[in-house]
Structure 1
Amino acid sequence: MIRIRPSTRRTVSLVGALGCLAALLVAGPASAGADSPDDSVTDYCQGHCNDILPPGENGNATLAQILLNRTLGTRPKHTDDQLGKYADLVNGYQQLTDDKLGSYFNDSSLGVPGDQVASSISPRDDVTIVRDKATGVPHVYGTTRAGTEYGAGYAAAQDRLWLMDLFRHVGRGELTGFAGGAPGNRALEQQFWRQAPYTEQDLQDQVDRVANSGTRGAQALRDVTNYVDGINAYIDKAYSSRTFPGEYDLTGHVDPITNAGGIDHFKPTDLVAIAAVIGALFGAGGGNEVTNALAKQAFDAKYGVAKGDAMWQAFREQNDPEAVLTLHDGQKFPYGGAGADAPSVAMPDPGSVTPEQLVYDPTGSAGSSAVSKAAVAPKKYRSVAGMYNHGVLPADLLDSPKHGMSNALVVSAAHAAGGHPVAVFGPQTGYFAPQLLMLEELEGPGISARGAAFAGLSFYVELGRGQDYSWSATSAGQDITDTYAVPLCNADGSPATKASQSYLFHGRCTAMQRLERDDAWSPTLADQTAAGSYKLVMYRTKYGLVQSRAMVDGKPVAFTSLRSSYQHEVDSIIGFQEFNDPGAIHSASDFQHAAADVNYTFNWFYVDSTDTAYFNSGDNPVRPSDVDFDLPVRAAQQYEWADFDPSDNTAAYTAFDAHPQSRNQDYYVSWNNKQALDYGTAQPGDGPVHRVNLLDDRVKALVDSGQKVTRADLTKAMEDAANADLRGEDVLPLALQVIETAPVTDPDLATVVNALKAWQQAGSHRVSARTGDKSYVDGDTIRIMDAWWPLLVSAEFRPGMGDSLYAAQAAALQINESPSGGQNGDTGGGTSVNEAQGHKGSSFQYGWWSYVHKDLRAVLGKPVSGGLGTTFCGGGDLAKCRTALLDSLQQAAAEPADQVYPGDDSCDAGDQWCADSIIQHPLGGVTDPTIGWQNRPTFQQVVQYQSHR
């Protein structure tokens, strides 16, 4: 929520500003034009392609429109017009047919019919931007490639200028100086600065490296240059006409009365800064080696080295034999380390690990130390610009590699209605107002695509469709980040300590590179956070960024993080350029090879009228055979990546054929799960119960039914999974089996057990009875399930593990990820062991579901592959396990709703529906309505091509 207060810096009267609304209101769109300028483009989907991206395409609001939104609740056109369609699917999917898809998705056909043109402008002679009436999406038609890219930049600025400006500052660690010193802003920029601190020369080097990488690289630089020119042309026009985003007024960059101030032009390095943010969020994996080491040490301390290591590996789930795989036809793609006893392993001395200091010289409201998650109250994330209570990218979304949140359902031609493959897929990038993504269509020489792209990177469509094919991605997260234990030294030869700022590289004592960013902020019209400043500091070595320090074998080391895509976020531009080029993509094989040019860790999916395909992308470093990359690696030359060159962070990477890939498998499902046999995962969680099971069970049933799968069938399968509780569907049946090994004699507890059983048998859904209802069917049973899960896990595992091991493993894998994020288990002493971020939609990715599943099967005497090494529940005694479950269930049933759902700035304590609900976290001055919980992608396509070029 925007909070407008009198400024201490300026004597602006907001009452006066409201009185000037008439002068500030934006002129209407240009008059409607004719049909799409490029009639030569053929759409081979023939009306069978749809998409959706809530809340709406328009992310630009002038100061007048922001004030009207706050006073009257009005919103600029196309601000939230996709939100209702998206929200309503959860109550309408069971009656869905192909001809009703348009009620819940947009028509994503190429072009705009003449009677659907809302506006048509030509910001220069070689490009026309047409916007359609239904959604306001920009359709950019260039007679030259330069014009097409210029128009893409102009349209992006029209729809997302403020957001683009925010993220170029986030990427540089300069957010607070730009948008204010609110705690959430500080936490946000600190997290990104920790992951990708770049100098201006670093950013320029990325631009130059790609530009010199060949014909496509040179074309990419020309495209980016023209795109930036389009952005800047809009800035100039909007500034002179006062149609720019009103957030610039509210944060003091432009005087709302005199228009004094300005908006800085963009340059190509700004796009690199934005790409660094996106790459760190969605396209990385690994880097958990120190956390893994601490968990391993805890297992060894409890059970001894031999048994402890075996149990740690079981909980690690690196290659769990029961995991659901995207490639389920037995394909093997080996990618993994040598094992915990490898000579490369550098285990920290117990108790010696300390995090690296990030914040220095804090003054004013910055406080005395770095802002952490604790500085931002759970579910009350103050957002960018310090203007909004509910947040931008919440801080705890950014402080770990756990960012995969997308899904895909693809059925091959052999099992699809009409003999053409069907796909329902999309990325889950969170819910924001405006969205991180924007929709567009780009048509010009060498470019023909429609779909979504991240704001500020929309010179190409990143996820979407071409003339006769569609593609999408899910975050893969395979391990491309290693932690090195770098020996510390002092240049003067004195004994090193953990505080030393030099390190040994190939036998020479080498000074660390100090990267720093000074940031200061002052109160603004929108936020009165007290003035303050601080310095952000990171140290860079040839083995990556210093994240912590420790002792190894009694000697001081820096634990550094080396990511293969660090300093190379821009390299992926080549693959995206190919995706948009109809001359480059003619087949599934073409697409797979283009996807191989993306160095982010993504699972890519492709469909055309005959074929489906999958490919896992990412620069997977080639490691020596005696290196284990689950644990910290000794910083010695023999353990470096093959062909490692620290001057530009390049190495040898695994070959195309070594990446998981497939064509025309009967079906594909992905929800950030394990890709294939022997393909090592970057973090635990890929066991017998994973949220991908919700998709796999439903799609497999469709394929096995013998009936041909329609677009509506696959959409229904997706949405049925999107409102199911994974714990209820896959784990609760086992818990109930344990409980029902004897009669439940307490009548109240028996009633609870019967209610849980009935809810589970009905599908374990979290749904309202009808659209508009703000309460769940079976709400009280769901409350009990939510309260029970952390209590169940604790009762089952903590007695056997002990507090220390339980806490260490919970740090490696959180125990819960419920829709509300409010059920916090603890390890004793109030230490939280699961996330507290709410209102994000995405749920059930990370949790101890598989551990509970395996352990309860062991107690029940059922077969378990890849067991945990011992039976925890009740110490293996079924009767004692049953007692533990019943006691924890009784405790959960007695927990009142206001404790299960503790409330926040948006919801009263005890309001279950609201606690689960999805908030479009404001990234600008206009807010959008809250919608009910759904566990589905943000941008989503439903496609079935009818013919092919």
Structure 2
Amino acid sequence: MRRRIPRTTLNRKSSSPLRRLTAAAALVLTAGLLSPLSTATAADEPAPVSDYCKGQCADILPPGANGSATLAEILGNKLFGTQPAHADDQLGPYDALSSGYPSLTDDTLTNFFNDSSFGVPGDQVGSVTRPRDDVTITRDKKNGVPHIKGSTRYGTEFGAGFAAGQDRLWLIDLFRHIGRGELTSFAGGALANQGLEQQFWPQAPYTEEDLQKQVDFIKSSGGERGQQAMEDAQAYIDGLNAYRVKSKNGRYFPGEYVLTGKIDAITNIGEIQPFKITDMIALASVVGGLFGNGGGGEVDAALSLLKSQEKYGVEKGTQVWESFRGRNDPEAVTTIHDGTSFPYGQKPANARGQALPDKGSVVPEPLVHDRTGSAATAARSGTVAKDPVKAPAKLKPLQGMYDDGVLPAGMFSGSAAKKGMSNALLVSGKHTASGHPVAVFGPQTGYFAPQLLMMQELQGPGISARGVSFAGVGMYIQLGRGQDYSWSATSAGQDITDTYAVPLCEPGGGTPTKDSTSYVYRGTCTPMEKLEKKNSWKPTVADSTAAGSYRMQVLRTKYGIVTHRATADGKPVAYTSLRSTYRHEADSIIGFQMLNDPSYVKDAASFAKAAQHISYAFNWFYADSRDIAYYNSGANPVRAKDIDTSLPVKAEQAYEWQDFDPTDNTAAQTPPAQHPQSVNQDYYISWNNKQAKDFTAANFSLGAVQRANLLDDRVKKLTATGGVTRASLTRAMAEAAVTDLRGEQVLPEILKVIRSKPVDDPQLVKAVQQLDSWRAAGAQRNQTAAGSKTYAHPDAVRIMDAWWPLLVQAEFEPGLGGDLYQSLTGQLSVDEAPSAGHGPTGAHAGSAFQYGWWGYVDKDLRTVLGEPVQGKLGDTYCGAGSLSACRDALLKTLATAAAKPATEVYPGDDSCKAGDQWCADSIIHRALGGITHRGIQWQNRPTYQQVVEFPAHR
């Protein structure tokens, strides 16, 4: 018999939400209010299917497979530090690799990774659940991963949805509200929640009709596979809803529903809103916006170009700007390194249709209106973003849901929402010990509690795969392995988004202004479509933010969403952002369906054909027992002749995408043969770097030094030596994961400049020696011993962290001038060290060294030293080209950096005390719900990672 908790206990007021919960904690923990699903016996474990990896496939996904917690489990975590079963059991092995990799062997890989074989051995069955007669969900004892086997296709997908509810119900609910721009109304008005919906909704501000049209488009245009995909999606939603109902009726639903006021803990009154298939489109828009988009930002690029032209004059200014833009840097590391050219997005000799703004005329389109209550307070304090294109940069870093909101500020902050964070290392069988290819690869999707990805195995008619899927869109494995092959992806980020300058007009024929809300479309004055989202909130147990409300508004044109207004050639225009995947958020489902189908993917060629159906910008990698392969996917629009994709274009039919139809945002796309692709190159590496020769980068970051150099140098050496094993390739990845890119790739040139003459000052001599010793030891940010939480070269790391921003500014700002320097650093941040809370990914995020000025510094210093440089910058900056003056600037900033105490370099935050270097770098899983986990050693590696070597093939 369940005990009832007096309502007055939970309603008692106190100074904080957590304290209010504490008063009821003991009762709730012992009340039996929440109970798990009943399970069948281990004897019902489904028989395994054919598995050609023969125990040589492994993977890992921290913190753990279970991303759901009842109210009692949340309270236990907050009060006593306890964890729900399988919530963090993959965190320890993942963490341990940073110290354990030097002695790694093939035999010890399972100390750091899970066996990812198909099925669950009988003695390892932890539970069996049958949500329907035609599907069984078997979970293993060790990690609690769901292995779903259905006798029908509907049952298989129903089981996938049911398991998603078991592991990620709250997270899925959160993300469907983020995708719809309704997070604050759902989870409270905390600044972080406001920031998230203000960041994502403007990218895909769909109405319910828009979402349904995308479902209908897949059905109508995707043939039999499109029809099947939507049937699978509906079955998945049915399973998710089945668990939603069961958990609500059984009172074992996620405790966050109580904490946010959705369900009463005592009476069970309240509802978890039913899930719809259109929720998956909203979810897909968030996932695609995070990891599969590329390009855009042409207005900011134009402003930096104008600053350069203002500084140097049009001809020299353009040359200087192009050198920093680095569209096709000849020194950039490339995934396809055999010289094969794949031209895309190159600068035309004579660009047509450019629409640069007039000086000083650009203003961002306002997003937020009519603030009341706490929303108005936040606006006055300057902590909520006003620019719909950029995420809030000033939100306080949040580590939990109490008092501060459900989601951590900056979880997708800055431009990280559009930038990728994954890597891949593959070696051909010609260079391995076994003669079979070896691959170590995975996506770096960030560190969250629960994780955005969820692990599962799917076995049913037409489906046979194991791996991970994004929660809420997991009817297929998106990254993982089939019976005799494995695949993974990195974000490619090629330019699939353009900016158009739309002429403004007045319907009655009056004189337009920058505030006009009609525009000229193919000769006709057309009103902009106004899309609104009104949100309001009240305080909850989880979020004590005072009541408030605001309205978000975007204006939509045939050429996309209005982001800025300006004048161009004296005439008012609106700048709009149009991406090729807009209105097509879930089209890629057909490609994933193919990757899961064992009758379709049988070799490298069929893998590439499947990847061609994925419209988001990804680099796809494949390995089986015979081949390795690479294919770059994306809905790359065919642009009009001589269009410069880096700058705004006039919104005229002559400059539109080829065959552009705004009804469903369709246009001609580049054919598969023009996408970077390769089979059986000696090796492939990828870390969001340049894909191939002449394949133009969509941003400023792919130059002479990029973090992919850390992989390329190591894998090239392994391949040249031969005899590569799973362990040796994993060691190469793990060593790169704890290496400071600046220390390995740029510090040698810096020290050459400094040592061009003897250093006299004793303090500078000491600092130079410390840096050089660190460089000689590998420039790593690693512990002296596992668990020591102390770096082997702490002073050198501290000096480099303090020095780099000072060094870059002293090297470039005098020559560029303050305005141009500021404009260019707005295009590409100077630094992204692990401890930097100011970088694109924020503090404690793991991913580092993707975005910074290391390539610029490297080229400029080599120029000063008189060394060979391909693709030089448009000018010489350090010391205006004087080696002596450059040396003086470096030494002056080094002296300042060396004198900075650790407490200043690492000022501390909610998780770390000031001066704690290891903690400042550490990875902290950002809470998306009520459960938190311990911090772990910094590693710059994929979140989900596979290590595979197939010895056999069908």
TM-score by length of 1: 0.96
Q: Deviations over 1:265-318 (max 9, x none)?
A: 101001110000001110000002111111111111111111111111111010
| 1:928 aligns to 2:928 (yes or no) | no
Q: Does 1:838 align with 2:843?
A: yes
Which position in structure 1 is the counterpart of 2:833? 818
> Which secondary structure state, in structure 2, belongs to the residue aligned with residue 770 of structure 1?
coil
Q: Distance in 1 between matches of 2:739 and 2:779?
A: 6
Whether 2:299 is the aligned partner of 1:290: answer: yes
Which residue identity does 2:105 align to in structure 1?
T
* Secondary structure, aligned partner of 1:366: helix
RMSD of aligned Cα (Å): 2.0
The answer (yes or no) to whether the contact 1:286–1:478 under 8 Å persists in 2 is yes
2:92 corresponds to which residue? 84
Aligned residue identity for 1:92: G
Matching residue within 618, 624, 640 for 2:656? 640
Residues 185, 384 of structure 1: 8 Å contact kept:
no
Query: What letter corresponds to residue 419 of structure 1 in structure 2?
Result: G
8 Å Cα contact 2:191/2:409 also seen in 1: no
Taking the aligned partners of 2:422 and 2:19, their CA distance within structure 1 comes to 47
Of 551, 555, 558 in structure 2, the residue corresponding to residue 539 of structure 1 is 555
Please name the residue that 1:427 is paired with: 443
Q: Describe the SS at the equivalent of 2:587.
A: helix
The alignment status of 1:348 with 2:357, answered yes or no, reads yes
Q: Which residue in the other structure is 1:829 paired with?
A: none
Instruction: Establish whether residue 363 from structure 1 lines up as the match of residue 372 from structure 2.
Output: yes
Distance of 2:225 and 2:412 partners within structure 1 = 37
**Aligned pairs for 1:584-663 within 5 A:** 584-663=600-679
Structure 1 segment 408-419 matched on structure 2, within 5 A: 408-419=424-435
2:786 counterpart letter in structure 1: T
Q: Determine the structure 1 residue equivalent to 2:788.
A: 773
Shift of 1:385: 5.8
- Counterpart of 2:728 (choices 701, 713, 720) is 713
Look up the match of 1:372: 384
Shift of 1:145: 0.3
Q: CA deviation at 1:379?
A: 7.7
Judged with a 3 Å threshold, the aligned counterparts in structure 2 of structure 1 residues 287 and 303 are, in CA distance, closer, same or farther, namely same
Kindly state the Cα deviation for residue 26 of structure 1 after the two structures are TM-superposed.
2.6
Q: Residues 327 and 346 of structure 2 are in contact (CA less than 8 Å); yes or no, is this contact kept in structure 1?
A: no
Q: Distance in 1 between matches of 2:208 and 2:810?
A: 52
11 and 348 in structure 1: CA distance in 2 versus 1, 3 angstrom threshold: same
- Secondary structure of 1:212 counterpart: helix
Q: Does 1:501 align with 2:506?
A: no
Structure 1 residues without counterparts, runs of 5 or longer: 825-833
Q: Partners in 2 of 1:24 and 1:633 — Cα distance?
A: 61
2:121 is aligned with 1:105: no
Aligned residues: 935
Identify the residue that residue 6 of structure 2 maps to in structure 1. none
Structure 1 residue 398: deviation in Å?
5.5
Deviation of residue 777 (structure 1)?
1.2
Shift in CA distance, 264/819, structure 1 to aligned 2, threshold 3 Å: same
**Matched residues in 1 for 2:100 and 2:28: separation?**
44
Q: Aligned to 1:864, what secondary structure does the other structure show?
A: coil
- 1:860-893 CA distances to partner (integer Å, 9 max, x unpaired)? 0001110002110000000000000000000100
**1:122: Cα distance to partner?**
0.7
Q: What secondary structure, in the 3-state scheme, does the structure 2 residue paired with 1:556 have?
A: strand
CA contact (8 A) 2:637 2:667 kept: yes
- C-alpha deviations, 1:655-695, integer Å up to 9, x for none? 01000000000000000000001111100111110000000
Q: How far 1:449 moved relative to its partner?
A: 0.3
Q: 1:189 aligns to what SS in structure 2? A: helix
Q: 1:666 to 1:650 in 2, by over 3 A?
A: same
Q: 1:512 to 1:383 in 2, by over 3 A?
A: farther
Q: Does 1:70 align with 2:78?
A: yes
Moved more, 300-309 or 636-645: 300-309
CA deviation profile, 1:116-140 (whole Å, cap 9, x unmatched): 0000111110000000011000000
Matched, 1:796 2:811: yes
Contact 2:406 2:929 survives alignment (8 Å)? no
- TM-score by length of structure 2 reads 0.96
Q: Sort the Cα spacing of 1:861 and 1:377 in 2 relative to 1 into closer, same or farther, 3 A.
A: closer
Answering whether residue 914 of structure 2 is matched by residue 898 of structure 1, we say: no
Q: 1:856, 1:873 within 8 Å by CA — same for their partners in 2? A: yes
Match of 1:699 in 2: 715
What is the SS of the residue equivalent to 2:635?
Answer: coil
- Is structure 2 residue 108 aligned with structure 1 residue 94? no
Do 2:332 and 2:703's aligned partners in 1 also have CA atoms closer than 8 Å?
Answer: yes
Q: Is the 8 A contact 2:618 2:633 kept in 1?
A: yes
Partner of 1:827: none
1:335 counterpart (337, 344, 368): 344
Counterpart position of 2:773: 758
For 1:521, the aligned partner's letter is W
Is the CA contact 1:776–1:913 (under 8 Å) kept in the aligned structure 2? yes
Contact 1:6–1:13 (Cα < 8 Å) also in 2: no
Deviation for aligned residue 1:386: 6.2
Percent of residue pairs identical: 59
- Among candidates 711, 726, 750, match of residue 735 of structure 1: 750
Q: Kindly tell me: are residues 384 and 262 of structure 1, through their superposed partners in 2, closer, same or farther at Cα, counting changes over 3 Å? A: farther
Question: How far has the Cα of 1:794 moved from its partner?
Answer: 0.5
Measured after TM superposition, the shift of residue 27 of structure 1 is 3.8
**Cα deviation 1:318-369 (Å, max 9, x = unaligned):** 0001110000011111112444851211111111111110001010100264
Residue type of the partner of 1:361?
D
In structure 2, relative to structure 1, the CA distance for the partners of 1:167 and 1:387 (3 Å cut) is: farther
The residue matched to 1:470 in structure 2 has which SS? strand
Q: Is the 8 A contact 2:459 2:465 kept in 1?
A: yes
* Stretch deviating more after TM superposition (390-399 or 718-727): 390-399
3-state DSSP of counterpart to 2:82: coil
Q: Distance in 1 between matches of 2:44 and 2:439?
A: 29
Which residue does 2:238 correspond to in 1? 229
Provide the C-alpha distance between the structure 2 equivalents of 1:675 and 1:918, rounded to a whole number of angstroms.
Answer: 29
**1:437-456 deviation digits (Å, cap 9, x = unpaired):** 00000000000000000000
The equivalent of 2:565 in structure 1 is: 549
Is 1:867 matched up with 2:872?
yes
Question: Secondary structure, in 3 states, of the residue corresponding to 2:567?
Answer: strand
Cα distance, 1:387–1:453 mapped onto 2, change above 3 Å: farther
Q: Does residue 180 in structure 1 map to residue 188 in structure 2?
A: yes
Question: How far apart, in 1, do the equivalents of 2:345 and 2:225 lie?
Answer: 33
Alpha-carbon distance between aligned partners in 1 of 2:881 and 2:19, rounded to the nearest angstrom: 71
**Aligned match of 1:277:** 286
Residue 377 of structure 1, CA deviation: 7.4
Q: Distance in 2 between matches of 1:740 and 1:839?
A: 35
Tell me the distance in 2 between the aligned counterparts of 1:789 and 1:544: 39
Give, as a single letter, the amino acid of the residue that structure 2 aligns with 1:38: A
Alignment of 1:304-319 (within 5 A): 304-319=313-328
Equivalent residue letter for 2:869: V
Amino acid at match of 2:92: G
2:4 corresponding residue in structure 1: none
Preserved CA contact (<8 Å) 1:184 1:383: no
Aligned equivalents of 1:559, 1:622: Cα separation in 2: 20
Classify the secondary structure of the residue corresponding to 2:589.
helix
The offset of 1:897, in angstroms, is 1.2
Cα distance in 2, alignment partners of residues 389 and 899 from structure 1: 29
In 2, distance between residues paired with 1:863 and 1:921?
45
Where 1:362 maps in the other structure, the secondary structure is: strand
1:917 equivalent in structure 2 = 922
Q: Which amino acid aligns with 1:888?
A: T
State the one-letter code of the partner of 2:536. A
CA 1:393 to 1:585, structure 2 compared with 1: closer, same or farther past 3 Å?
farther
Partner Cα separation in structure 1 for residue 19 and residue 396 of structure 2: 30
Distance 2:881 2:179 in 1: 51
Give the Cα–Cα distance (whole angstroms) in 2 for the partners of residues 349 and 99 of structure 1: 64
